[in-house]
Amino acid sequence: MQVAIKYCLSCLLIFSIHLAKAQSIDKTKLIEHIAYLSSDELEGRKTQSQGNLAAREYILNEFKSLDLATQYPDYIQKFSFEGRRDNKVYDQAANIIAYIPGSSSKKLIVITAHYDHVGIGRADSAGDSIYNGADDNASGTAALLELARYFKAHRPEHGIMFAALDGEEMGLQGAKALVKDFPYALDQIVLNINMDMISRNENGELYASGTYYYPTFKTILEEVASGNKPILKFGHDEPNTGRDNWTNSSDHGAFFKENVPHIYFGVEDHKDYHKPSDSFENIDQEFFVNATNLILKCTIVLDQELLKE
């Protein structure tokens, strides 16, 4: 499905001026979030573990401190599923969901990031068995919290749902649960922005995957990203390219299945992917802050441009 959006360079020039004046995310808070969420204390945040529950409480408190709205009791959407590998029933999984109403449109942008990781596993050569998941995906969760803070202070045109999702590492379970039990008709969603692994890349590259299906987004994002760091690249979304195709590799896949347009911001796999060494010490703080600010700029412009659909 291709999204038709009226687009003009003069409009983007206006938005560029707006963005130049726009408040960026809170760098200090962003780093505090990722440091805590990827700490040994949370033991890798596997679904239904004590560390996962601690992460849930942290996110919940952040949403409450911002006095955000929600469509779910106490911000929590509970769900259950059966693990594909262990056949265990996970009946206390939970998404944490907040909402900011739009100023001009009743339609929605849904911003997602999964807060779970794989927990404790086989120890590495250094004897470390905690898979901290700093990049995967404490980074996206931290960014989600700071985007929520920004849009609380700068009301968007569309309503924005901020969904911290559980169970991604076990088959996109949180995203599937959200789509299945969404509080509105799914055709009210104009865009899903998903963030998963955005805190490091040796080449200074961040990908916006999904524009193969929604090419008008590429035109817009290229203009927004021009002259910014990190370098915004496109791809990893063409059919029949095997593992190089990220279309169903993270939570946006559940939205794509329901024909909801998406942009997935992420980096290519690195040597610490799904290893204990994916720790806070190995993120690139400058890259992470710049990537989050770039995603913020992209979101601001997409929010404006989607009004013209």
User: Contact at 8 Å (CB) between 46 and 52?
Assistant: yes
| pLDDT tens over the chain, length 309 residues | 444 444 444 454 444 445 444 568 999 999 999 999 999 999 999 999 999 999 999 999 999 999 999 999 999 999 999 998 888 999 999 999 999 999 999 999 999 999 999 999 999 888 999 999 999 999 999 999 999 999 999 999 999 999 999 999 999 999 999 999 999 999 999 999 999 999 999 999 999 999 999 999 999 999 999 999 999 999 999 999 999 999 999 999 999 999 999 999 999 999 999 999 999 999 999 999 999 999 999 999 999 999 876
Per-residue confidence (pLDDT) for residue 125, from 0 to 100? 82
Q: How many CA atoms lie within 13 A of 204 on its CB side?
A: 6
With beta carbons less than 8 A apart as the criterion, state whether 199 and 139 touch. Answer: yes
Strands 89-100, 76-82: pairing is: antiparallel
| Predicted local confidence at residue 307, as pLDDT | 87
Looking at residue 145, its pLDDT comes to 98
| pLDDT for residue 308 | 79
Categorise residue 264: left if φ over 0, alpha if ψ from -120 to 50, beta otherwise. beta
Fold of 9-308: Aminopeptidase (3.40.630)
pLDDT for residue 21: 43
Give the pLDDT of residue 84: 86
Q: What is the pTM of this model?
A: 0.93
Domain ranges of the chain: 9-308
Amino acid 5: pLDDT: 44
* 28 CB-near residues (< 8 Å, 6+ apart): none
Q: Which pair of structure tokens corresponds to residue 107?
A: 């339609």
> pLDDT at position 1, please?
40
Q: Inter-axis angle of helices 27-37 and 50-65, to 10 degrees?
A: 160
Q: Let me know: does 276 contact 133? Beta carbons within 8 Å.
A: no
E strand intervals along 241-307: 262-266
Three-state secondary structure string covering 107-130:
CEEEEEEECCCCEECCCCCCCCCE
Contact between residue 144 and residue 111 where contact means Cβ atoms under 8 Å apart = yes
Distance CA 224, CA 57 (A): 35
Question: Bridge-partner residues for 106, per DSSP?
Answer: none
